[in-house]
Structures are given as C-alpha cells and as structure tokens.
C-alpha cells in the first residue's frame, strides 16, 4: 500500500524547540502588528484547515461504518501474522478430482478484472500455469472484499482459499481451463508495484527477429529480446521460460547421473589462474592483489592434472569464461561447461564410445522425463519437440573427411578445409546438419579425426596419418556442442607439440602442467560440452540467450 502522504503532526517533544525558534530573542525588536490582509489570509487558512479536518473525520466515520457493515472482515486483506499454516496445493496437483473441494493456493495475480460492484475475476499464475478465480458478493463475502480483490496490483502474490468448480465454459486463457476457483478467503503476501516495466503476458509470445518493438496481429506489444533480458526476473515467470529453465536443470541432472553411475568423480577446479590456460588472447584478466590473474577458459589443464593424480575418471559442471567479441546466436562470454576426462587402455575410441552413450542418454531421457516441459515450449518454439535421435540408439559417427565429401557433393566450396587451412565454418556446419538430417534422419552426430592444424597443442596426432588428429566434435542440428580428443600424455611429445603450435613450454604458466606429465600419466581422452548450447539446439531455440538464466555477452553484464 502507498504510504500516507498527509503531513505528520508535530511530535510533543519537538514542540517547545519549534516554539523557541519562532519567539523573538532577548534584545530583539518585537515584531510589527500583522497587517489586515495577513490577518484575513490567516483566517482563511484556518477555515480551510478546519474544513479539511471535518472532511477527514467524515471519511473516517464512513470507513468505520463500512467496516462495521463488512461481513468479510478477516477473510481478506494483508496476510495476518498469526495465520494458521494451511497446506497449500500446487497448480500442478490440481485436477478435476478437486471439483467442489476447498483448496488453498499461493500464486501471483496475473490479471484482476472487476465485472460489477458484486463480481470480479482474477487470473492466478503459479510457475507459468494459470487458473481463473472468481469472487462474488454473497454473505459472508462483501462488496468491500470484491472491490479490494479487483484492485490488487498485477503480479502481487496472494494466498487464496476457495472451492474448485467446473466453469460453465472452458476458460481458454487459463492453463487449467476446466477449473475455476471460487474465492472464500484472499490475503496479500507480497504486493507488486502498480507500474511494472514489462508485463509477463507480453513476454509470453516469442521475441521478434529484429530488436525493434513490434505489435502482434491483435495489436498487443511483442517485447524484444533485449527488453526481456533487461527485466529477466519478470521474463522468467512465463510458462515457456519456466519450462526452458527446467530443461537446463535436466541436462545438468542427466549429465551428473550418467557420470556418477559410470564411477566418475565430481571435481571442482579453480576458475582463477595465474596464467591463461590454453594460450591465446580470449582470456579475461582480473586484478589479483598486486598482480594479474585470469579467468579460466576451460578446466582442460586441471582435468588432465587430476588424471595424472590417479583419479581415472573425472567430471565437472562449472562456469567457463571466453573473452571473445563474438556477437552471435551461440556465443556467450560466460557459459556453463560440462567437462569430463577419463583414462583408456588401448584406444581413444573407448572414451569416444562413452561420450556418445552419454549424449544419447541425455537426449533420450530429456525427451522422456521432460515431456510436459517440451510440450509447453513447443507452443512458442515449434521445433522444441522435433529433435531427431538415431533410431538404433547409437550415435552416427563420420570422419571429418567424410563430412567434407558430403559438403562437396552438395556443391559447397571446401577447398580451404581440404587443405587443412581452416576449420568448418558455421555456415558449413549448418548445411552439413541439414544434409545429415535428410540422409541419416538424425539431428545428433559426431565427426572424428579433425585435421591437426585446427586443434589445440595438447591434442594427440593420428599415429597413422599425422595430418589428422585423434579428436572429435559433437553436433546438434548442425551446431557444435562438444569438442574432445585424446590428449598427449608423453611429456616430450607434449613439449614438441607446444613448440609446433607456438606455445612456449618454458613459460611459467605451464610448469605445473608439464610436471604432471613428467612423473608419468596414463593415456586419456575427454571432452568439453556447453550446457547452454545443448539446451538451445535440443529445443531449436533461435538464440542461446533464451537458454541462459542471466546471459553474459560482449554487450551485457546485467542483470
Ligand atoms: P566455437 O567454434 O563454436 O566458437 P569452440 O571451438 O571455441 O566453439 P570449444 O573451445 O571447443 O568451443 O568449447 C567446447 C564447447 O563449449 C563447445 O562445443 C560449446 O558447446 C561450448 N562453447 C564454446 N565456446 C562457447 C561460447 N562462447 N558460448 C557458449 N558456449 C560455448
């Protein structure tokens, strides 16, 4: 409620001081007698004040009388402190089984509408789901209670007790369209401001492709992605975003579940480092007391050091920082990395098989365990439910050169890629995704044996053809979601590879890393996945920011 704006009356302890301030001090001349016009003005002011006081008293009396007549006192208003804790029912639990039963729910006011002095409707929203509530003046429910209810600010949080009824006609604007709540009690738990910077209902439509405000066919505003991200807390309340954030949670859950079941150990590596972890310039510098430190670009070196520390199989979920000035639909400057590293006995394909099973598990289980959320997202983003998985449950694995062949067949100029001068471009990856979808009926596939020239120094070269490497990338809908490889575990080979790639093995930052290999390290391989990308491409979202709680990119550091 707005605080009273009436002037405060003078507190008794303040009065003498105030009087002293207006009295003439000793030795000062007495003030001249007030003029006629001043006296007239003072009398006028006095009369005005008396009238105002009279009006206030009348209003107060009217209110007291109304309250005396109000048969609903105690059934509405601010949530009383001594309220008994009635178990609340969630919207997800509500069904037609609740017809004629009384329930208590805690929800936000999505919309409040007065029909008449005796009838009002509320749309209640809980985690994106909506139910209509109705309040009618019929004893003990009073007109005052109806008026108070219809005046609630949108987005306020309320506790409502009511009887669930079947509405005369299904309420299409509600998620629970077969139910209607007939209000008996309603209390305000937390009040929303009268003016919000954005309405949650306006964020329920997909953002326009261009970042300019637009209106839909009904003239309703469609808020841009920028506005939605600026007011992300409101934006997160839409049914679609509630579901998307559950998919992110699901990816983390399934990755962790698979890893722990396989016997892998959960590790927590530092994100502050004294050197840039993989060389290159894409690293954020931070002030670290009297020197500089760097935010890690991946847990790569630490994962390998854990393998050298006899941990056999490790994984981590954590923030990854990239100082890349890439303003694209799939790049962030901070994202959530899912990393793993494990030893193998004879061939790095032991680890590649494991990684493929991991992804097939995550994607299949997402479809199964998060069916409801996917169906919700599909209403806004139609591709959300159509991610194609390999029918036989085994990932499609092609060699890099096979992919080049497919692109060439489709008439794409891949001359630079054939000369191993450049990696596949984003456009090529996307086209390849399309070709593979048509040819193999899958949106998930793996490319193995990338050219050595396009991979980092710690990658093991292919012993049969050193132009290539024992490295792989995973793709979803033609976009990269994972990079991985067998890593060099022989210290001399590692130093030579560093030199060949222009990385100085003598530099201070690599001493601890190289020491790990000098004392012997088993053969191992691993990979790094981007959680935000998995969610984006699984759901077919147009932009990674839609799958990121509070995105960080070259333009955005808030909220
Ligand atoms: P890209 O070529 O698309 O920029 P990358 O080759 O730099 O990716 P890696 O360094 O191999 O990617 O990182 C491993 C995984 O981490 C990627 O497959 C992707 O899922 C994710 N990833 C990498 N960079 C970003 C980024 N800037 N924003 C979001 N996710 C990223």
Q: What is the spatial distance between Cα 348 and Cα 471, in angstroms, rounded to a whole number?
A: 9
| Lookup result for tokens 């839909």 | 216
Q: Whose CA is nearest to atom 23 of ligand 1?
A: 530
28 band by pLDDT with thresholds 50, 70 and 90: very low
Residue 483 annotated to the active site: yes
Pick from 251, 321, 327, 331 the residue to mutate for probing ligand 1's pocket: most ligand atoms within 8 Å of its CB.
331
Residue 61: φ, ψ to 5°: -65, -40
455 lines ligand 1 (CB under 6 A): no
27 band by pLDDT with thresholds 50, 70 and 90: very low
Q: Which of 531, 526, 547, 557 is nearest to 320 (CA)?
A: 531
Atom of ligand 1 nearest to the CA of 474: 18
Atom of ligand 1 nearest to the CA of 482: 18
Q: Rounded to whole angstroms, what are the CA distances from 360 to 153, 366, 387, 398, 532? A: 47, 10, 12, 16, 17
Give the pLDDT score at 214.
66
Pick from 295, 299, 335, 338 the residue to mutate for probing ligand 1's pocket: most ligand atoms within 8 Å of its CB.
335
Coil vs helix vs strand at 330: coil
| Lowest mean pLDDT, pick from 35-39, 63-67, 96-100, 205-209 | 63-67
Establish whether the linkage from the previous residue to 140 is cis, with ω within 30° of 0.
yes
Sequence ranges of the domains in the chain:
77-190, 240-547
C-alpha of residue 194 to centroid of ligand 1, in Å: 43
Give kind and range of the element (H or E) at residue 21: helix 15-22
331 lines ligand 1 (CB under 6 A): yes
Give the pLDDT score at 26.
43
Q: What is the spatial distance between Cα 187 and Cα 74, in angstroms, rounded to a whole number?
A: 9
Q: Tell me how crowded residue 219 is: count the other CB atoms within 10 A of its CB.
A: 6
Burial of residue 475, with CB atoms counted within 10 A of its CB: 0-12 exposed, 13-18 middle, 19 or more buried: buried
Give kind and range of the element (H or E) at residue 494: helix 491-500
- Angle CA(157)–CA(160)–CA(166) in degrees, nearest 5? 125
Give kind and range of the element (H or E) at residue 105: strand 102-116
533 lines ligand 1 (CB under 6 A): yes
Q: What is the spatial distance between Cα 167 and Cα 179, in angstroms, rounded to a whole number?
A: 6
Which of 312, 324, 350, 418 is an active site residue? Answer: 324
Which of 330, 455, 477, 545 is an active site residue? Answer: 330
Residue 331 annotated to the active site: yes
Q: Which of 193, 195, 197, 190 is nearest to 231 (CA)?
A: 197
| Lookup result for tokens 């992110």 | 248
**Could you tell me the two tokens for 86?**
């009635």
The runs of H, that is alpha helices, within 160-238 are 225-230, 232-235
Do 442 and 436 touch, CB atoms closer than 8 A?
A: yes
324 lines ligand 1 (CB under 6 A): yes
pTM for the model stands at: 0.85
Q: Whose CA is nearest to atom 4 of ligand 1?
A: 331
**Could you tell me the two tokens for 404?**
């080049």
Give the pLDDT score at 101.
96
Residue 426: φ, ψ to 5°: -60, -40
Please state the rounded mean pLDDT for residues 138-154: 95
Handedness of CA 259, 262, 265, 270 (dihedral sign): negative
31 band by pLDDT with thresholds 50, 70 and 90: low
Q: What is the spatial distance between Cα 142 and Cα 66, in angstroms, rounded to a whole number?
A: 10
User: pLDDT digit string (tens) for 379-390?
Assistant: 999 999 999 999
Q: Residue 130: CB partners within 8 Å, gap ≥ 6?
A: 91, 110, 123, 124, 173, 174, 175, 176, 239
Domains 77-190 and 240-547 share a fold: no
Higher-pLDDT residue of 212, 550 = 550
Residue 69 annotated to the active site: no
CATH architecture of the region 77-190: Beta Barrel (2.40)
Do 422 and 416 touch, CB atoms closer than 8 A?
A: yes
Do 387 and 477 touch, CB atoms closer than 8 A?
A: yes
Q: What is the spatial distance between Cα 237 and Cα 155, in angstroms, rounded to a whole number?
A: 10
Q: What per-residue string of b and e applies to 261-297 under the rule 16 or more CB within 10 Å gives b?
A: eeebeebebeeebebbbbbeeebeeeeeeeeebbbbb
Q: Which of 538, 536, 537, 558 is nearest to 548 (CA)?
A: 536
Judge whether residue 280 has pLDDT over 70.
no
Chain-centroid distance of CA 260 in Å reads 26
Higher-pLDDT residue of 171, 18 = 171
| Lowest mean pLDDT, pick from 65-74, 311-320, 464-473 | 65-74
Which of 125, 232, 322, 487 is an active site residue? Answer: 322
Residue 419 annotated to the active site: no
Please state the CATH superfamily assignment of the domain spanning residues 240-547 in this structure: Bira Bifunctional Protein; Domain 2 (3.30.930.10)
User: pLDDT digit string (tens) for 390-400?
Assistant: 999 999 999 99
Residue 276 annotated to the active site: no
- Angle CA(334)–CA(338)–CA(344) in degrees, nearest 5? 140
Q: What is the spatial distance between Cα 122 and Cα 182, in angstroms, rounded to a whole number?
A: 10
Give the pLDDT score at 552.
97
418 band by pLDDT with thresholds 50, 70 and 90: confident
Pairing between strand 76-78 and 180-190?
parallel
212 band by pLDDT with thresholds 50, 70 and 90: low
């Amino acid at each position: 409620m707005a605080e009273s704006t009436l002037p405060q009356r003078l507190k008794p302890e303040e009065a003498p001081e105030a009087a002293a301030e207006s009295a003439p001090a000793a030795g000062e001349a007495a003030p001249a007698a007030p003029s006629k016009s001043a006296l007239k003005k003072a009398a006028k002011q006095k009369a005005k004040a008396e009238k105002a006081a009279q009006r206030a008293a009348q209003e107060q009396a009217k209110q007291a009388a109304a309250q005396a007549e109000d048969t609903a006192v105690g059934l509405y208003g601010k949530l009383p402190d001594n309220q008994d804790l009635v178990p609340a029912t969630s919207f997800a639990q509500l069904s037609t089984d609740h017809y004629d039963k009384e329930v208590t729910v805690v929800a936000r006011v999505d919309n409040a509408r007065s029909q008449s002095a005796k009838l009002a409707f509320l749309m209640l929203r809980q985690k994106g789901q909506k139910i209509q509530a109705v309040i009618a003046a019929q004893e003990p429910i009073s007109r005052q209670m109806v008026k108070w209810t219809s005046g609630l600010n949108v987005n306020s949080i309320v506790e409502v007790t009511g009887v669930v009824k079947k509405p005369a006609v299904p309420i299409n604007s509600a998620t629970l369209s077969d139910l209607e709540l007939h209000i008996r009690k309603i209390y305000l738990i937390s009040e929303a401001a009268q003016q919000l910077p954005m309405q949650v209902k306006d964020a329920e439509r997909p953002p326009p492709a261009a970042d300019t405000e637009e209106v839909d066919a009904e003239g309703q505003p469609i808020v841009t992605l920028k506005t939605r991200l600026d007011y992300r807390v409101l934006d997160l309340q839409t049914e679609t975003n509630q579901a998307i954030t559950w998919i992110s949670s699901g990816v983390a859950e399934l990755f962790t579940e698979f890893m722990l079941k396989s016997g892998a150990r959960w590790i927590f590596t530092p994100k502050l480092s004294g050197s840039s972890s993989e060389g290159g310039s894409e690293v954020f510098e931070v002030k670290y007391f009297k020197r500089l430190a760097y935010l890690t670009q991946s847990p790569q070196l630490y994962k390998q050091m854990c393998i050298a520390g006899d941990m056999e199989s490790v994984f981590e979920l954590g923030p990854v920082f990239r100082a890349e000035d890439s303003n694209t639909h799939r790049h962030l400057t901070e994202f959530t990395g899912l990393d793993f590293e494990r030893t193998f006995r004879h061939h790095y394909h032991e680890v590649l098989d494991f990684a493929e099973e991991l992804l097939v598990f995550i994607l299949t289980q997402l479809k199964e365990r998060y069916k409801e959320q996917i169906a919700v997202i599909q209403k806004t983003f139609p591709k959300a439910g159509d991610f194609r998985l390999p029918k036989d449950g085994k990932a499609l694995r092609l060699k890099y050169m096979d992919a080049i062949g497919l692109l060439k067949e489709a008439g794409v100029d891949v001359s630079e890629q054939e000369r191993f001068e450049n990696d596949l471009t984003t456009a090529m990856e996307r086209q390849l995704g399309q070709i593979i979808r048509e040819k193999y009926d899958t949106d998930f596939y793996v490319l193995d044996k990338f050219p050595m020239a396009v991979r980092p120094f710690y990658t093991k070269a292919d012993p049969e053809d050193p132009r290539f490497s024992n490295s792989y990338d995973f793709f979803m809908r033609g976009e990269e979601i994972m990079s991985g490889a067998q890593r060099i575990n022989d210290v001399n080979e590692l130093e030579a590879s560093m030199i060949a790639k222009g990385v100085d093995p003598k530099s201070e930052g690599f001493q601890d890393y190289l020491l790990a290999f000098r004392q012997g390290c088993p053969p191992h391989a691993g990979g790094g996945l981007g959680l935000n990308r998995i969610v984006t491409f699984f759901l077919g979202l147009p932009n990674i920011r839609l799958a990121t709680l509070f995105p960080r990119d070259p333009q955005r550091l808030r909220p």
